[in-house]
Structure 1
């Protein structure tokens, strides 16, 4: 798939490198050409110097027909403008923006533009959102028995207790990211659309995790 990334800071460079290593076609935009030095030496994608919300720059980057666009520069305004241009002008369906201000993030989530904030799982969420099928594992203990996974809430679980979701896969809820804010949920927190859920699960269930969760809550 072809992915356009605006911003080559730490998150943008890490995202571009991981997608490139995964065999995807990656183009990175940044107004500062020196920023591209953050990319791995083996990076095989393309770089474009310019403003990521400038339409001519986006055309040069190949946004027409792209599969995904990620706006991850250091500026909230630039990210959201670029995200909206990608969605509304170029018709890219899979668009995500990095928003530092949690209040703004909530507004844009309601407008249908998923966001990530400055949380440890930012790059992980971007990868999973863009590729929709890569491994959800973000950490595994030294014995390999327990994995920490991060998943976007399946729609069939919306309105159901987080604890019930975790129970189905034999795990525990570690944290919840909602509207750009990460917190430890209580026992009665319900799943909402676009929640990023962090679970500790037995490593043996990871391969079948998506299929298990897509079946939805079980009837008692």
Structure 2
């Protein structure tokens, strides 16, 4: 697949290198030609000087044959304009924009432009590093307030109800993976051995939620 990246900062250069390692063709756009130094001598893709919302520049970068477009410059406005041009003018199927302002990210998600808010993304990376069990959000809303995460639980929860787990952890069970199949449980559903439980929780409560699930249920549940 051909991928066009707008922005050759650390994120753009890293993304370009990763895509090339997976045998995709890549074109990188940046208004500063010096930025291409970050790509290194091993980069074999295109280097196009210009702005990512200029149609001529995009065409030079191969946008008409691109299967994906990533706008990862350091400017929210440039990123979202470029992403919309790629999606709406050139019909690129997979488009994503990095947005620093989480409130803007939420608005653009509603417009159908997937966004990567920098702060929540960084938070997830830190969580993956800091938490010994590797618990991190599988999904986070654009504001970073709500996270959906796999919830490791004490074996004592097997045979207990979803309602009891929700009450103890202060979370909501979003779905359960059971024998490789997704299940939407109700509050009376009992947890079975080997169930993988995914819960929705407020970001600031994730540690408390995981700690409560790791403890055996109190008597009476």
Question: For the superposition of Structure 1 and Structure 2, which TM-score range results when normalised by the shorter chain?
Answer: 0.5 to 0.7
* Structure 1 residue 2: Cα displacement: 1.0
How many residues align? The count is 160
Unmatched tracts of structure 1, length 5 or more = 126-137, 154-160, 173-185, 192-208
Unmatched tracts of structure 2, length 5 or more = 141-146, 155-168, 190-221
* Structure 1 residue 101: Cα displacement: 1.1
Distance 2:50 2:92 in 1: 20
Partner SS state of residue 106, structure 1: helix
Q: Larger radius of gyration, structure 1 or 2? A: 2
Distance 1:187 1:25 in 2: 46
* Structure 1 residue 41: Cα displacement: 2.5
Change (3 A) 1:47 1:149: farther
Answer yes or no: is the 8 Å Cα contact 1:31–1:50 preserved in 2: yes
Partner SS state of residue 119, structure 1: helix
- Measured against aligned partners, the alpha-carbon deviations of 1:163-219 in whole angstroms (never above 9, x if no partner) come to xx624xx579xxxxxxxxxxxxx742576xxxxxxxxxxxxxxxxx9x94xx32265
Superposed counterparts of 1:23-172, under 5 Å: 23-119=23-119, 121=121, 147=134, 151-152=138-139, 162=148, 166-167=150-151, 170=152
Equivalent residue number for residue 195 of structure 2: none
- 1:217 aligned onto 2:200: no
Answer yes or no: is the 8 Å Cα contact 1:140–1:146 preserved in 2: no
Partner SS state of residue 216, structure 1: strand
Distance 1:84 1:75 in 2: 14
Partner SS state of residue 64, structure 1: helix
Change (3 A) 1:38 1:120: farther
Distance 2:121 2:94 in 1: 19
Answer yes or no: is the 8 Å Cα contact 2:135–2:150 preserved in 1: no
Equivalent residue number for residue 188 of structure 1: 171
Normalized per residue, which structure has more helix?
2
Normalization by structure 1: what TM-score?
0.62
Structure 1 stretches of at least 4 aligned residues deviating more than 3 Å after TM superposition: 119-122, 138-141, 145-153
Partner SS state of residue 27, structure 1: strand
